[in-house]
Structure 1
Amino acid sequence: MMILETSRLYLRHYINEDIHALHPMFSDPETMKFYPSHFSFDQTQQWISRNMTRYDKDGFGLWAVCLKETDGCIGDCGLVKQQINDKTEIEIGYHISKGHWSKGYASEAALACKEYGFYQIGLSRLISIIAPGNIASIRVAEKIGFSKEEEAIVFNRNHYIYSGVKGNENA
């Protein structure tokens, strides 16, 4: 099911076959540099399954990012509930496969997710959780109008929390 569309991309629900596009990305040490480790095949399948469950439970999750030109899945982007300092927040998360870096796809998908969160779901605030040193993710957050709000321990490690508020969009 297609969720969002941009000029070059569309975002849709994961399907089981996405494992073939996503596992090379999630198993790549460079792509997963800011995660505790890269993913095994089973961990990638669990990632897909968790998000499929989120669609039913939360009404959103991470979605497959697909190029309109080829219909190929090049990563994921979407909205995910996270616990930050004992508070539930909605994060815009994104991963783009290495062969598609530096083409603006993450920013394009994240901006569409921000607009979806604010104007389709009715959220008033969104965040991105970013590991210190992840300059590419910081740039994406800033391009969509988010700014650094604080540092917090998330997933047992220090992270930057970037946020944006509806009505105060700078993108």
Structure 2
Amino acid sequence: MAQYAAQSERLWLEPLTVEKHLDGYHKMISDPRAASWTKPSESIEESKAYMIERTPNPERPWIENYAILLRPTTPTSADQKPELIGAIGVIRFEAGHGAEIGYGIHAGHHGKGFATEAMKLFVGLYWSKEREGDWNTLVAAIDPENVASQRVVKKIGFAEGELQDEEHEMWVKGGKEKKPVRHKEWLLSRPV
């Protein structure tokens, strides 16, 4: 059996890679219902470019993203490849601010508790590693109208922060550009 970074009864987390996860990742972000902070991907090449930005690279070695995999449910399905149903991890870091996390769940798996379960796994995994300074605060930037994601972070113990108006580089048709974004920050500090 493969080694996973974290696991629960229903899910596995493993480091997100283009080689292993591109097809499932493309299925997720090409669906408009799952791509709320960006435009839906129009091609596998576009998904690959977006995915590469979400994996560690020389410019951003601190990126830490995991594939959320649905575990096989029966002994006879144990040989099947687990299904990628989402991705979760650190997507942005600013000194003095903390590590911003993000996640996405394939729309076909919404409403089943997978986001909360994956968030619990990720937070536990994140805190299991030695971190210093601003890395000891996780930040979730959530659209004020995204009640489902607010519920997820509340269940994990995030505290409600301030409403922010910022510009973020986002994928749009033809590439990336800075777009105004309004979100509420939710904060979680390392347990003492």
**TM-score when scaled to structure 1?**
0.83
- Judge conservation of contact 1:92–1:110 (CA < 8 Å) in 2: no
Asked which structure has the greater CA Rg, the reply is: 2
* Separation of aligned partners in 1, 2:155 and 2:32: 25
- Judge conservation of contact 2:5–2:125 (CA < 8 Å) in 1: no
- The residue identity in structure 2 corresponding to 1:9 is L
Query: After the TM superposition, which residues 1-171 of structure 1 pair with which residues of structure 2 at under 5 Å, given as runs?
Result: 2-15=4-17, 16-32=19-35, 34-41=36-43, 42-54=45-57, 57-58=61-62, 60-69=63-72, 71-83=82-94, 87-122=96-131, 123-154=135-166, 155=168, 156-167=180-191
- Judge conservation of contact 1:125–1:166 (CA < 8 Å) in 2: yes
- The residue identity in structure 1 corresponding to 2:48 is Q
Q: Give aligned-pair identity as a percent.
A: 24
Secondary structure in 1 aligned to 2:150? helix
Segments of structure 1 that go 5 or more residues without pairing to the other structure are none
- The structural deviation recorded for 1:43 is 2.9
CA gap of 1:12–1:98, structure 2 versus 1, over 3 A, is same
CA gap of 1:103–1:62, structure 2 versus 1, over 3 A, is same
- Judge conservation of contact 2:98–2:136 (CA < 8 Å) in 1: no
- The residue identity in structure 2 corresponding to 1:75 is G
* Separation of aligned partners in 2, 1:80 and 1:35: 12
- The structural deviation recorded for 1:47 is 2.3
- The structural deviation recorded for 1:97 is 0.5
Secondary structure in 2 aligned to 1:12? strand
- Judge conservation of contact 1:92–1:113 (CA < 8 Å) in 2: no
CA gap of 1:54–1:159, structure 2 versus 1, over 3 A, is farther
Segments of structure 2 that go 5 or more residues without pairing to the other structure are 73-79, 169-179
CA gap of 1:110–1:76, structure 2 versus 1, over 3 A, is same
Choose 154-163 or 39-48, whichever is displaced more: 39-48
Secondary structure in 2 aligned to 1:126? strand
CA gap of 1:126–1:165, structure 2 versus 1, over 3 A, is same
**Which has a greater percent of helix?**
1
Aligned-pair Cα RMSD in Å: 2.3
- The structural deviation recorded for 1:87 is 3.7
**TM-score when scaled to structure 2?**
0.75
